[in-house]
Chains A and B, each alone.
Chain A
Amino acid sequence: MDTLAQLAHGFSVAFSPVNLLWCLLGTTLGTAIGVLPGLGPALTIALLLPITYQVAPEASFILFAGIYYGAMYGGSTTSILLNTPGESATIVTALEGNKMARSGRGGAALATSAIGSFVAGTIGTLGVAFLAPVVVKFALSFGPAEYFSLMVLAFITVSAVLGSSAVRGLSSLFVGFVIGMIGVDLQTGQPRFTFGLTELLDGVDVIIAAVGLFAVGETLYVASRRYAGKDEIVPLKGSLYMTAQEWARSWKAWIRGAFIGFPIGAMPAGGAEIPTFLSYAVEKKLSKHKEEFGTVGAIEGVAGPEAANNASAAGVLVPMLTLGLPTSATAAIMLSAFQSYGINPGPLLFTTQGNLVWGLIASLFIANVILVILNLPLIGLWVKLLKIPAPQLYAGILVFSTVGTYGISQSPIDLVVLYLLGAVGFLMRRFDFPTAPVIIGMILGPLAEAQFRRAMTISNGDWTVFFTHPLSLTLLILAFLGLLGPHIWGYIERRRLKGQEAVPGDA
């Protein structure tokens, strides 16, 4: 096997003591910045770009890859413990993860996310090593029409987080659409809902919205109910790590998450958020413990999305390494690092820079191992955070959210947006509107709109493109089945049962 030989060579590059040290540094740094909302891997790598003048290409890419993977691990920690997502890809993790943390299973949530990240990251990296050419071909067959249909499929996931009332859930979704529309319209260059503020032209950062709605909103809500005696946090119940039952519930979710995350991550406009939504919806649909979703927290709802987000992180590397296509902000900055070495990433990268590419892939495997070793022992320490008395804990969350938000662009307007959305989040909690659909609307709405309008521009206004493209049609049928399938199935089932009852004594 040619690939195996090259991979082995890659490991020999990555296993040099110096490169291992870079990998350790990158993963540690990545975990740290992943924990902070606002400071993401893209910004960190951009700030570290000047080191490309000082060190060998292999070393700096191993460092960057470590940061990239590390951030994916770190982002989930605050999502779970503090309901403050550090990255947009870990927003879904907060849904069940934080519920688990509140009911004493924070350790298990952190463990399933760390091990799930390891499993999915490894599957994803294997995919990069062995399947890259195949996957990229599939990914390129996605045009705007197919992406739009994928978004339609992703919208089904909203039904998984709607909560008790469809009207309330859909209202939240539409609030998300409006927030998502703020900024310059990509298709026409015209500002929408910016109220004449230049700072709003680039739109509202989804992290700020998530932190505002989840963390700040939650803090205000808890403060308002301080003496009502409700909403108590149980620091730890049972074992710190996962029980046998939790393992049994997690491992399938990891695998499914990895297989959802990797191909979507490899698509040029796939991103890391959509696979987490899809995985969450799938896990909720398949779970035998549906009653735990949204109440005490279901471990599948953490395991699946966490795996999906790490596998998609690996998927992003596929178009970057095979075609030189940057499909995320982090990948774009890594590409500019290639350029400062005079290397032009493109279709010939695997052949012209074999050492570098295979060294990078090998170091991804190593980064995964380091990360799981680094993160598992930390869980005990992290869970202690929950023992902090509520007033101090929530005050800390506020400080943390504020500092993190200011770190994104040093813009005071962002802080205003954060607290405005915090107030909105508080009111939504108070009147029992779910907040997760807002975020889904914010992410999917603008994407769906852009892809729809692109598809329309290309087809010259012909609506049938969504049905005549086979891939697009398949996705729409899946979406249709996902939405109506359970109802139809339930109806048939009831009819069958009724039929049996109708003829007593027939059995």
Chain B
Amino acid sequence: MLNRRAFLASTAAIGLAASVGPAFAADAPQLEIFVPAAPGGGWDQTARTMDQVLRTDKLISGSQITNVGGAGGTVGLPQFVSRYKGKGNTLMVGGMVMVGAIIANKSAVKLDQVTPIARLTGEFEALVVPAASPFKTVADFIAALKEDPTKVPVAGGSAGGSDHILFGLMAKTAGVDPTKISYVPFAGGGEALAALLGNQVAGGISGYGEFSEQVKAGTLRVLAVSSDKRQEGIDAPTLKESGIDVELFNWRGVFAPPDVSDEDKAAMVKMMEDMTKSAAWAEECKNRQWTSIPLTGEAYETFLKEDIARIEGILKDLGLA
């Protein structure tokens, strides 16, 4: 999928870096990873990190990563389904964003057509306000929201994405009509952050990692995080503790093609279980501020069904589906 020149260039550069690839383990399989997004994003990084960790732990001999980006993964998904049907040792990276995109884009191919293997990581979200904001707690924020939702503009990522979904869920739980909320979508985390730092909006919702350095520097204040429990090093309660019964992880996981044999499926589940237990994986997650939330087998399938239903519900409430 690489352009030839880029490929040559990158191999040349890697060669120059004097890297010697890890020794090939004779019996380790070759893995194919399909990324339904352009290089550089979260899914792509997940794939490349998986490749790195699996090779370090000699669970695979190497992997081929294919990127087919676009429309929240809904361009790549149908290609994955048709091209890799029944093929073992093949994984597609996906996650909550794809669930939302399938619903919002009315994609003909859905996640129930692929084989869920494992949930790997998640990024919990944070509700932040500029340092100068009068809101000190979630209660302050919700009180203002209840009084007049249009006066509390909140910045985040694209419409219908995880940030918008969380804001909708929060409003709904607090008894505010989700169609009335004032959500200001930005193309990227950077732009939303700039709007917050420039005091253009009342608050912001995004993955905590987007805000962490600003919080450390004291320019933003975290009101709450969307994880199940308090996080080490973050001086903020969870939404649940603040009286808003919402928990949300922007999760990422892997899927196998349709119609894979039970053996192949079991092998891939095993590989993912081994990977998520490894020290190298823990180290990468720490560096990248990913929370490891492994879930495999039936538990993952149940979780997936529930999450799809929840997201579909809130997108309908927000008027997006």
Q: Is the CB of B38 within 8 A of A323?
A: no
Contacts of A332 in B (CB 8 A): 40, 188, 190
Tell me whether A29 and B198 are in contact (CB under 8 A): no
- For window 165-186 of chain B, which residues contact chain A by CB distance below 8 Å? 182-186
* CB-contacts of B195-225 with A (<8 A): 195, 197-198, 200-201, 209, 212-214, 216-217, 219
With known contacts A198-B71, A332-B190, A336-B45, A47–B6 Cβ distance under 8 A: yes
Which B residues lie within 8 Å of A345 (CB)? 213
Question: What's the minimum C-beta distance from B36 to chain A, rounded to whole angstroms?
Answer: 11
B158 neighbours in A (Cβ, 8 Å) = 184, 186, 189
User: Could you tell me which residues of chain B, from 58 to 87, have a CB within 8 Å of some CB in chain A?
Assistant: 68-71, 74-75, 78
Q: Which residues from chain B contact A402 at a C-beta distance below 8 Å?
A: none
Q: Give the size range of A's interface with the partner.
A: 35 or more
A239 close to B (CB within 8 Å): no
Q: Annotate A331-349 by CB proximity to B: 1 below 8 A, 0 otherwise.
A: 1110010011110111111
Q: Are B194 and A268 in contact (CB under 8 A)?
A: yes
B44 at the interface (CB under 8 A from A): yes
Bound Cα distance from A45 to B39, whole angstroms? 9
Chain A residues, Cβ within 8 Å of B219:
347
Indicate whether B187 reaches chain A with its CB closer than 8 angstroms: yes
Q: Are A46 and B39 in contact (CB under 8 A)?
A: yes
The reply on A303 being an interface residue by CB < 8 A is no
Contact A201 B75 (CB under 8 A): yes
Interface residues of B in 1-39 (CB under 8 A from A): 1-3, 5-6, 9-10, 13-14, 16-19, 38-39
Q: A198-B105, A347-B219 are in contact. Are A43 and B198 (CB under 8 A)?
A: no
Rounded to whole Å, the gap between the CB of A188 and the closest CB of chain B is: 6
Kindly supply a per-residue 1/0 record for chain A positions 266-284, scoring 1 wherever the CB is within 8 Å of any chain B CB and 0 otherwise.
0011000000000000000
In the bound complex, CA of A505 to CA of B183 (Å):
70
| Residues in B whose Cβ lies below 8 Å from that of A47 | 2, 6, 10, 39
Q: Is the CB of A482 closer than 8 A to any CB of chain B? A: no
Let me know if B291 is at the binding interface, CB within 8 A. no
Q: A349's closest neighbor in chain B, by CB?
A: B213
CA distance A332 to B52 in the complex (A): 21
- Tell me the bound Cα distance from A139 to B159 in angstroms: 25
Q: How far in angstroms is the closest Cβ of chain B from A330? A: 9
Residue of A nearest to B183 (CB): A457
Contact residues of B between 209 and 245, Cβ < 8 Å to A: 209, 212-214, 216-217, 219
Give Cα A141–Cα B197 distance, bound, in whole angstroms. 9
Judging by beta carbons under 8 Å apart, are A340 and B287 in contact? yes
A198 touches B75 (CB 8 A): yes
Cβ B191 vs Cβ A268 within 8 A: yes
Identify which of A32-40, A110-118, A157-165 touches chain B.
A32-40
Q: Which residues of A contact B160 (CB under 8 A)?
A: 189
For B197, give the chain A residue with the smallest CB separation.
A140
- Closest chain B CB from A251 CB (angstroms): 34
Q: How large is the interface on B (under 10, 10 to 19, 20 to 34, 35 or more residues)?
A: 35 or more
How far, in angstroms, from A366 to B194 measured CA to CA in the complex? 30
Q: Which of A21, A43, A458 contacts B184 (CB 8 A)?
A: A458
The residue in A48, A140, A198, A457 that gathers the most chain B C-beta atoms within 10 A of its C-beta is A198
| B294: Cβ under 8 A from any A Cβ | no
- Whether A198 touches B70, Cβ cut-off 8 Å, given contacts A47-B2, A324-B213, A327-B190, is yes
A51 at the interface (CB under 8 A from B): yes
A-B Cβ contacts below 8 A, count:
191
* Contact B212–A410 (Cβ < 8 Å): no
CB of B319 to closest CB in A, whole Å: 8
Of B5, B14, B159, B194, which one neighbours A325 at CB under 8 angstroms? B194
Contact of B48 among A50, A324, A341 (CB under 8 A): A50
Contact in complex: B287, A339 (CB < 8 Å)? yes
B133 CB-CB contact with A under 8 Å? no
Instruction: Name the contact of B6 in the complex, choosing from A33, A327, A346 (C-beta under 8 A).
Output: A33
Q: Are B151 and A460 in contact (CB-based, < 8 A)?
A: yes
How distant is B313 from chain A, measured CB to nearest CB, in Å? 16
- In the complex where A42-B40, A189-B158, A327-B190 touch, is A454 in contact with B52 (Cβ < 8 A)? no
A460 B150 Cβ-Cβ under 8 A: yes
CB of A54 within 8 A of CB of B14, answer: yes
Q: Pick the most buried of B39, B69, B158: most chain A CB atoms within 10 A of its CB.
A: B39
Q: Which single residue of chain B is at the shortest CB-CB distance from A347?
A: B217
- Contact pick for A323, options B18, B45, B48, B197, CB 8 Å: B197
Query: Would you give the shortest CB distance from A293 to chain B, in whole angstroms?
Result: 33
Give every chain A residue within 8 A of B190 (Cβ-Cβ). 268, 319, 325-327, 331-332
A189 close to B159 (CB less than 8 A): yes
Q: Is the CB of B159 within 8 A of A191?
A: no
A141: which B residues are within 8 A, CB to CB? 198
Contact of A44 among B6, B191, B214 (CB under 8 A): B6
Give every chain B residue within 8 A of A45 (Cβ-Cβ).
Answer: 40
Partner of A326, one of B2, B18, B189, B195: B189
Note all chain A residues with C-beta closer than 8 A to B289. 339, 344
In the bound complex, do residue A46 and residue B40 qualify as a contact, i.e. CB atoms below 8 Å apart? yes
Given the complex, which residues of B lie within 8 Å of A410, measured CB to CB? 1, 68
A190 to B150, CA, bound (A): 21
Q: A202-B71, A332-B40, A340-B287 are in contact. Are A50 and B14 (CB under 8 A)?
A: yes
Docked-complex contact B213 and A348, CB < 8 angstroms = yes
Query: How long is the Cα–Cα vector from A141 to B199 in the complex, in angstroms?
Result: 8
- A199 in the interface (beta carbon within 8 A): yes
B261 interface residue per 8 A CB criterion: no
- Inside 8 A of A331's CB, which chain B residues have their CB? 190
Closest Cβ of chain B to A335, distance in Å, is 8
In contact, B159 and A39 (Cβ under 8 angstroms): no
**Chain B contacts for A450, CB-based, 8 A:** 187
B293 at the interface (CB under 8 A from A): no
In the assembled complex, which residues on chain B have CB atoms less than 8 Å from the CB atom of A346?
Answer: 212-214, 216-217
- Is B288 engaged at the interface, CB distance under 8 Å to the other chain? yes
> Which residues of A sit under 8 angstroms from B93, Cβ to Cβ?
none
Which single member of A325, A336, A347, A409 contacts B40 (CB below 8 Å)? A336
B9 cross-chain contacts in A, Cβ below 8 A: 29, 32-33, 44, 48
When chains A and B are docked, how far (Å) is the Cα of A369 from the Cα of B216?
A: 37
Flag whether B92 is at the interface (Cβ < 8 A). no
> CB within 8 A of A55: which of B17, B45, B74?
B17
Contact present for B182 and A201 (CB under 8 Å): no
A-side residues, CB < 8 A to B, are: 21, 25, 29, 32-33, 36, 38-39, 42-51, 53-55, 63, 139-144, 184-191, 198-199, 201-202, 268-269, 319, 323-327, 329, 331-333, 336, 339-342, 344-349, 407, 409-411, 450, 454, 457-458, 460
17 A-B contacts (beta carbon < 8 Å): A29-B13, A43-B40, A50-B52, A143-B195, A143-B198, A186-B185, A188-B159, A325-B193, A327-B190, A340-B45, A340-B288, A346-B213, A346-B217, A348-B217, A409-B69, A410-B68, A460-B182
The 3 closest A-B pairs by CB, nearest first: A346-B213, A268-B194, A46-B39
With A63-B13, A186-B159, A268-B191 known, 14 other A-B pairs at CB within 8 A are A44-B9, A46-B40, A47-B10, A54-B14, A184-B71, A187-B185, A199-B75, A326-B189, A344-B213, A348-B213, A409-B70, A458-B184, A458-B200, A460-B150
